């Protein structure tokens, strides 16, 4: 897909099902998992754009990824991310996490609340460089606003060429700071 298409809400694939300790509901804009539509495979380097909601206490079980850049936005509730060792972090509503998956990692998405649903938007980008070490950073809404202008302009500038280089520069800013997570 090489042009922006405004789609009616009912034309976006809707998925739901059982996961550990609960259920999920998703709206998947591009082919993903069991959904395949050759008309909607990706947009530029953006390969996945999912809007998912997990029921209270639900866990998307541990699963592998490799060679993608992942941006996760917590739209409601508390999103907990954990790797195969239980390490990770929490995103509150309005917070963002960026992960360079690189060579690969195992992780799970977890609704950190047993009382309310958790909604998150996740975007995957095809990297311009392969074989990188996994690295991630969380930004609170306040931190995000302080870097948003620079970050968004960098993303837009490099969108067609892939995101690895500008996002790695972004990581370099935060690598030795208190914002570094994974």
* pLDDT, tens digit (0-9, with 9 covering 90-100), for 156-174: 566 555 544 445 444 444 4
In this structure, what CATH number is given to the domain that contains residue 155?
2.60.120.10
173 neighbors 166 (Cβ within 8 angstroms): no
CA Rg, the chain, in Å?
16
Residue-wise pLDDT for 125-158, tens only, equals 999 899 999 888 877 777 766 666 665 566 556 6
DSSP code of 77? S
Residue with tokens 């259920």: 23
Residue 133, domain member (yes or no): yes
Higher per-residue pLDDT: 85 or 52: 52
Six-digit token pair at 29? 């804009």
Residue 87, domain member (yes or no): yes
Domain count of the fold of the chain:
1
Residue 84, domain member (yes or no): yes
Residue 2, domain member (yes or no): no
- Domain residues for the domain of 35 are 9-174
Phi first, then psi: give them for residue 65, nearest 5 degrees: -140, 155
Which pLDDT does position 161 carry in this prediction? 56
What percent of the chain shows pLDDT beyond 70? 77
């Amino acid at each position: 897909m090489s042009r922006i298409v405004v789609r009616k809400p009912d034309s976006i694939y809707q998925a739901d099902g059982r996961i550990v300790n609960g259920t999920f509901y998703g709206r998947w804009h591009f082919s993903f998992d069991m959904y395949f539509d050759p008309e909607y495979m990706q947009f530029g380097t953006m390969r996945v754009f999912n809007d998912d909601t997990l029921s209270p206490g639900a866990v998307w079980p541990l699963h592998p990824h490799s060679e993608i850049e992942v941006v996760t936005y917590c739209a409601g509730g508390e999103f907990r991310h954990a790797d195969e060792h239980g390490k990770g972090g929490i995103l509150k509503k309005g917070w963002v996490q960026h992960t360079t998956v690189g060579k690969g990692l195992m992780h799970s998405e977890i609704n950190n609340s047993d009382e309310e649903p958790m909604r998150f938007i996740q975007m995957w980008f095809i990297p311009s460089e392969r074989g990188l070490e996994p690295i991630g950073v969380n930004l609170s809404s306040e931190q995000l606003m302080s870097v948003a202008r620079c970050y968004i302009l960098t993303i837009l500038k490099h969108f067609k060429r892939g995101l690895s280089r500008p996002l790695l520069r972004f990581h370099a800013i935060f690598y030795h700071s208190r914002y570094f997570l994974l």
